Amino acid sequence: MTVPPSSSIPSPSQSSSEILPQSKKLQGREFYNSIGQPKTIVAPMVDQSELAWRILSRRYGAELCYTPMFHAKLFVTSEKYRQNMWDFTKDGNFENDRPLIVQFCANDPDYLLQASKIIENNCDAIDLNLGCPQGIAKKGKYGAFLMDDWDLIYKLIKNLHDNLKIPVTAKIRIYDDWEKSLEYAKMVLKAGAQFITIHGRTRDMKGQQTGLANWKILKYLRDNLPKDQVFFANGNILYPIDLKRCMNETLCDAVMSAEGNLYNPGVFWTKNNDINKQFPRVDKLLREYFEIVKSIDTLASRHSMKAHFFKIMHEFLNIHKELRPIIGQTSVHSSYDDWEKIVIQVEEIINKIYENPNIKEIDIIEDNNKIEEWGGSYKIIPYWRCQPYFRKVDGEKQNTRLLKIAGENDLVVTSDEAKQKKLKRELEDDSNDNVVSKKQAIPI
């Protein structure tokens, strides 16, 4: 393996965020307690959970953040890639970017360890991406496509667990087979993962096939893993109210959100029912985010800015389509002044909306009071406020159609049925053990 000379790898920041010495490597529940027992988590997302977005998300209730997915081999071998992804003077700062878990995708234990060693002083743990379902992950053999190679997964995690001074965690997806999902999770934990995040969708559920995460499977896994295991749930989070529902139904320690957070960071706000925190105005949130980007001025945040503009304003842009080409034609390399003009234009449009004498009557969140198959209710939210995104499946929005649920095929398996299968298997195993023991007792 070719690695860069040590002189090309920056030293960890020692400025106002002095690295804290650890007398011992914390594990499991002890480690979870040491970072404040977070309940709301920003998921690792490709190019979308960078520093500026993490700072914004923490202001709206996120208690733990993951970095974007970094490619371990490129992080080791390409100085340009490292500089684009990570700023050693700003990312992982104790003042505004902790607790923080850095996520890598990898298929080589040595590269993964080397990449993790470079950054272990700037974060609280290293996470292995076992959940990315995209085509690029299949081509590169990483993410969810390592689900076909349990031996390699075990080696990747164990190598970090044995050689890092900080913990290793893992984020996985489920199989349609409940028992196989359980054995998979147990293997990941046996290898050394201290936290496990389980996305309640299968590898095939992406894009047009996204469907619904299955909280019943998550509850089944929670019930059958060690009681003290730190367990995060991921999937089906649309509104702040869904956080408590997820924790109650899955008995998870915390809830992670990716897409829900991207379109509305207020999805994590549970301190009160403040509409401006739970469903912030697009103009206010856009301004707040833009000011953060300017203040930290990192390459990763600059590169991610256009994508965040589109996501923050996705519903707003369905009404004010004239802004789409303006944003699209503005480069991430354009001056901040060019982006400032866009922010000002959005502010002017929404300020006019608030001149409406009936604004108090229309600026409200309505519940349709219909319990959907995923257990919650859809809300009617003014287009000038941040809100969930519903992609179209076969030309129809997801919130207007029945969706496939992970782990439920033609024969719907319930958690009770899965437990019965497990009990039957255990009884069969006991019976076989008794037969063997009796045979051993027979004199030959």
Count of beta carbons in the 10 Å neighbourhood of residue 223: 14
Closest CA to 259 of 226, 189, 210: 210
Per-residue model confidence (pLDDT) at position 335: 96
How far apart (Å, rounded) are the C-alpha atoms in residues 413 and 176? 10
Q: How far apart are the first and last CA of the chain?
A: 58
Q: How would DSSP label each residue in 6-59?
A: GGGSPPPP-SSSPPPP-SS---HHHHHHHTT---EEEPP-TTTS-HHHHHHHHH
Catalytic (active-site) positions: 132
How far apart (Å, rounded) are the C-alpha atoms in residues 339 and 305? 9
Per-residue model confidence (pLDDT) at position 377: 87
User: pTM of this prediction?
Assistant: 0.85
How far apart (Å, rounded) are the C-alpha atoms in residues 36 and 84? 30
Cα-based angle 413, 419, 420 (whole degrees, multiple of 5): 90
Q: Measured on CA atoms in the order 368, 374, 376, 382, is the torsion positive or negative?
A: negative
Per-residue model confidence (pLDDT) at position 298: 97
Per-residue model confidence (pLDDT) at position 42: 98
How far apart (Å, rounded) are the C-alpha atoms in residues 405 and 49? 27
The amino acid occupying position 85 is M
The amino acid occupying position 99 is P
How far apart (Å, rounded) are the C-alpha atoms in residues 426 and 442? 25
> Residue 216 corresponds to which tokens in the numbers above?
């019943």
> Mean pLDDT by 10-residue block, N- to C-terminus, for the chain (444 residues)?
45 38 78 98 93 98 97 97 96 97 97 98 97 82 91 98 97 94 97 96 72 90 96 95 96 96 97 97 98 97 96 97 97 95 98 96 92 84 95 56 57 48 50 34 24
Per-residue model confidence (pLDDT) at position 403: 55
SS3 readout for 141-155: CCHHHHHHCHHHHHH
Question: Is the distance from CB of 272 to CB of 241 less than 8 angstroms?
Answer: no
Cα-based angle 246, 251, 253 (whole degrees, multiple of 5): 90
